[in-house]
Each structure stands twice: as C-alpha cells, then as structure tokens.
C-alpha cells in the first residue's frame, strides 16, 4: 500500500531512555497494533517523528530539518523511515486502516495474550490452570459436575448470582482466580455469563460492547447475540464506538480462558462488556446512577436478563488498588503501606459484600481515588445489576514488586441471591 504523502503518527506514548551512551525514544502503542515498541534516536524523534502531524511532505521535513539544524538529510532516508513506520502500523492511513478493518470484519476476537501471558497450547494451558487450583493459596481440586436441584425437595443454597475475579496476570494472581471459579463451576447452573471488565484505555462511552466471540486456546467462548441485541435496542449503537478497545484488553480475555477451562464442554454464552472510567463522577463525588447513560445501561442489563428467560450470572473481572512509583507515587511500597492498602480494601470490600454500590463508590471517592481502584466502575455496575444479594470475600492478596515499586491488590468474591424474608 502507498505510504501517506503527508504522514501522521498515530497517538503513541513516547519515553526517553539512555542506553549505552545513546539517547533514544521508545514509542509504545497503547492499542497494541504495533507489533513491537519502536526505538528511534532522540534526534530522529525530535526532528522527524514529532513533525509527522499530517501536514508535512517528505520535502517539507527535509526543509524543516535544515532550518533547525543546518543539516541536509537525504530524502531517501526520510522516505525509508516513513515506510518502516507505516509497515509497523505507527502511521494513520491505508495500511493501518486495513488492519483495523480486518478486526472489525472478523467474527472472533483473537486471544491477544495467548503465548505471552499464558500458554497457547491447549493441554499445557489446562495443566497450568489445574496447577493453580492445587497451588499454595489455591481453592483446591474442582468438583466438575454442574449443580443439580436437590432431590426430594431438600433445602439448597441460594442461587449463585455473581462472582468477582481478578484480572491481574495468572502468574501473580492465578491462585486467587481459582476461588471464584471453583464456586462458579460447582454451584452455578447459569447459561449466560455477563462479564464486566475494565477498559484500561480511554473510551468515549461508559460501556463498550462487541459481538465477537472470544477465541481461547481451549475453544471459543461464544458471545450471546440476542443479549447484545437487547442492550443495543435500549441504549443505542454508540456502545460499539470504541469496540477496538476489546482487541487487546485482558480483563475479559482472562475470564473467558478460565470459563472455558472450568466449564469444559458445558454449553454457555458470554456477554463481554468493558466499563470505562467514572473518574469524573468520583471527583465530583456524584453517585454514578445520577448519570443518565449509566442508569440507562444498568436498567438495560436488568431488562435484557428478564427478557432472555435464561439463567444468568455475572462476572466482575476487576482488580483493586494500584500503588507505588510504577503508578506515579513518589514513595516505595513498604510493609506499612501494604497494611494501609489492606485496611482500605477491607472497607471497600465490606461495601461490596453488603451489595451497596453507592457505599462502594463513596469509599473510593472519599479519598479521591488515592489508591487507583481500577475495578471501581465495573464493580459498581455489577452490584446494581445483580439485585438483592449477599456477597462474601473468599480470598484476598497483593502482588508487590520485589523492589517495592508497585503493589496491585485483588480478591475473589461470590454473591448469592438474598433469601426471601420469612413471614
């Protein structure tokens, strides 16, 4: 495909590094279309890449560089650099548009992290996940048969309404995942799993849908088209405006992998929903339900479930606090800081156990989201959607960098329907 005449660099993040006495700039693609980070000498970034704004031709670049540095740069070098950036999907234009269109046309969302964050070979992946259940801190071996109604009218536990699971990588959080999924497979007979994940990229909408099935090495998790249709009828097609965010977002992908592992060949569908930021509401300390877009979507979830006539359960793919220099804090994470985080998380999880979405959100708002709870919006949405229930924290943990540069906290929870009050 032709290189753009007036090339424009896509919105990539740029970080300066000094390596072996040379100053370089590393360009990283937040959307992960670029197959690898792009490393440029600092002067090339400063005088060429930063000028790729859609207004300059190669000849313009040559002239601007001469004016700024008195150096004459060969046009062939500039054209070669631009062609390489285009091949690397760093530029807007037909090359990038073709890749985006292939994703939009595909019926499946590829397993973006297979072979990177977890094994891409099915048997090895299954063994890896089984080990997590049996590992230190894991929930123990699975009892695989799906739950059945008790014979003879014997009393049964209230229906499992939802689980909360981490979305941190399996290496650090895998044992905690197993608590949610052990209860899910042993207690839930749901046919549809509504997965509320976290959109870690900026989104124009609060909620982002896709119709694509989620590929995993263990087989595809099929997306429930009728449920998606019901949400769109109530809320509109703008729910697909940021569908590209689904392409590399891990918070739902990890849940799809675990579902395929624990449910084996049992039929089920998923409803993959990424929840964007409620940060503006947090800063105003405004209950999100007062936002018409949020209220409409929560009502649509409830109506879609009612209209489906099927057994539905929710999965919140969320983490909790993100603290330390890795996330912008000046101080390293020490034992005292970890205890403070644990105390805050306990107050937050108390509100989740009480299925108190307003209290959940208020707990973070009162400290100005000091601890960066990335699952704040998704969990709030889930707590409203599931209706009268009672939650229980099964397992809690913190993943801490050995140098104290970062701490991520997370938990597994279950939610069972509230038993009707006795007369």
- The CA-CA-CA angle for residues 93, 97, 100, to 5°, reads 150
The tokens of 268 are what?
A: 């089920």
pTM score above 0.85: yes
Mutual orientation of helices 75-87 and 94-105 as an angle, nearest 10°?
Answer: 10
- The answer to whether the beta carbons of residues 4 and 89 sit under 8 Å apart is no
Among 33, 16, 151, 40, residue whose Cα is nearest residue 91:
33
Among 408, 417, 415, 416, residue whose Cα is nearest residue 166:
408
Which pLDDT score is estimated for 150?
47
Q: Does domain 109-417 have CATH number 3.40.830.10?
A: yes
Which pLDDT score is estimated for 145?
52
- Percent of the chain whose pLDDT exceeds 70: 96
Which of 134-148, 185-199, 260-274, 369-383 is predicted least confidently? 134-148
Q: 135 pairs with which residues across the strands?
A: none
- The answer to whether the beta carbons of residues 88 and 38 sit under 8 Å apart is yes
The Cα–Cα gap between 194 and 314 comes to: 5
Which pLDDT score is estimated for 287?
95
The tokens of 325 are what?
A: 């220099």
Mean pLDDT (the chain, rounded): 93
- The CA-CA-CA angle for residues 317, 320, 326, to 5°, reads 115
Pairing verdict, β 322-323 and 407-417: antiparallel
Helix, strand or coil, per DSSP, at residue 234: helix
Q: How confident is the model at residue 71 (pLDDT cuts 50, 70, 90)?
A: confident
Pairing verdict, β 108-109 and 213-214: parallel
pLDDT > 70? residue 261: yes
- Number of residues that this document lists for the chain: 423
Helix, strand or coil, per DSSP, at residue 310: coil
Which pLDDT score is estimated for 18?
84
- Percent of the chain whose pLDDT exceeds 90: 88
Separation in Å, CA 175 to CA 134, 344, 354, 404, 410: 8, 22, 25, 22, 11
Which positions ≥6 away from 342 have C-beta within 8 Å?
396, 398, 409
Q: 209 pairs with which residues across the strands?
A: 273
Average pLDDT over residues 350-376: 96
Q: How confident is the model at residue 152 (pLDDT cuts 50, 70, 90)?
A: very low
Average pLDDT over residues 286-314: 97
pLDDT > 60? residue 422: no
The 10s digit of each residue's pLDDT in 79-110 is 999 999 999 999 999 999 999 999 999 999 99
Which pLDDT score is estimated for 217?
98
Q: How confident is the model at residue 19 (pLDDT cuts 50, 70, 90)?
A: confident
- The answer to whether the beta carbons of residues 164 and 413 sit under 8 Å apart is yes
Architecture of the domain delimited by 13-101: Alpha-Beta Complex (3.90)
Sequence ranges of the domains in the chain: 13-101, 109-417
The Cα–Cα gap between 220 and 269 comes to: 10
The tokens of 302 are what?
A: 């409830």
The 10s digit of each residue's pLDDT in 43-58 is 999 999 999 999 999 9
The 10s digit of each residue's pLDDT in 224-247 is 999 999 999 999 999 999 999 999
Q: How confident is the model at residue 143 (pLDDT cuts 50, 70, 90)?
A: confident
Average pLDDT over residues 100-122: 96
pLDDT > 90? residue 410: yes
The 10s digit of each residue's pLDDT in 153-184 is 445 678 999 999 999 999 999 999 999 999 99
Separation in Å, CA 168 to CA 55, 237, 317, 321: 41, 30, 9, 11
The tokens of 73 are what?
A: 């740069």
Q: Which residue has the tokens 């964050």?
A: 117
Which pLDDT score is estimated for 402?
85
The Cα–Cα gap between 358 and 356 comes to: 6
């Amino acid at each position: 495909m032709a290189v753009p005449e007036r090339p424009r660099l896509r919105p990539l993040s740029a970080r300066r590094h000094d390596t072996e006495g040379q100053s370089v700039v590393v360009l990283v693609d937040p959307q992960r279309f670029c197959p690898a980070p792009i490393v440029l000498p600092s002067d090339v970034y400063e005088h060429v890449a930063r000028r790729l704004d859609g207004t300059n031709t190669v000849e313009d670049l040559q002239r601007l560089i001469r004016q700024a540095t008195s150096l004459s740069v060969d046009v062939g070098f500039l054209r070669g650099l631009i062609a390489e950036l285009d091949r690397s999907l760093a530029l807007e234009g037909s090359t990038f548009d073709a890749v985006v269109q292939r994703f939009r046309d595909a019926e499946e969302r590829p397993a973006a992290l297979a072979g990177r964050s977890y094994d891409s070979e099915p048997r090895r992946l299954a063994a890896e996940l089984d080990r997590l259940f049996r590992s230190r801190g894991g929930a123990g071996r699975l009892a695989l048969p799906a739950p059945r109604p008790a014979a003879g009218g014997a009393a049964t536990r209230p229906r499992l309404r939802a689980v909360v699971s981490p979305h941190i990588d399996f290496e650090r959080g895998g044992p905690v995942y197993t608590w949610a999924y052990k209860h899910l497979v042993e207690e839930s007979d749901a046919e549809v799993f509504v997965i509320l994940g976290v959109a870690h990229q900026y989104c124009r909408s609060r909620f982002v849908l896709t119709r694509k099935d989620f590929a995993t090495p263990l087989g595809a998790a099929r997306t429930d088209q009728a449920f998606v249709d019901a949400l769109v009828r109530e809320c509109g097609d703008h729910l697909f405006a940021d569908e590209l965010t689904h392409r590399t977002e891990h918070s739902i992908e990890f849940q799809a992998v675990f579902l395929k592992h624990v449910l084996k060949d049992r039929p089920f569908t998923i409803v993959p929903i990424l929840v964007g930021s409620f940060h503006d509401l947090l800063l105003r300390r405004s209950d999100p339900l007062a936002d018409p877009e949020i209220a409409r979507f929560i009502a649509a979830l409830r109506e879609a479930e009612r209209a489906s006539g099927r057994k539905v359960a929710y999965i919140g793919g969320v983490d909790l606090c993100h603290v330390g220099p890795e996330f912008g804090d000046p101080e390293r994470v020490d034992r005292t800081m970890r205890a403070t985080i644990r105390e805050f998380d306990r107050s937050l999880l108390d509100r989740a156990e009480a299925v108190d979405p307003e209290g959940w959100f208020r707990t973070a708002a009162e400290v100005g989201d000091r601890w960066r709870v990335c699952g704040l919006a998704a969990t709030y949405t889930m707590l409203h959607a599931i209706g009268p229930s009672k939650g229980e924290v099964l397992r809690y943990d913190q993943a801490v960098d050995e140098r104290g540069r970062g701490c991520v906290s997370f938990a597994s929870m279950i939610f069972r329907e509230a038993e009707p009050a006795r007369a």
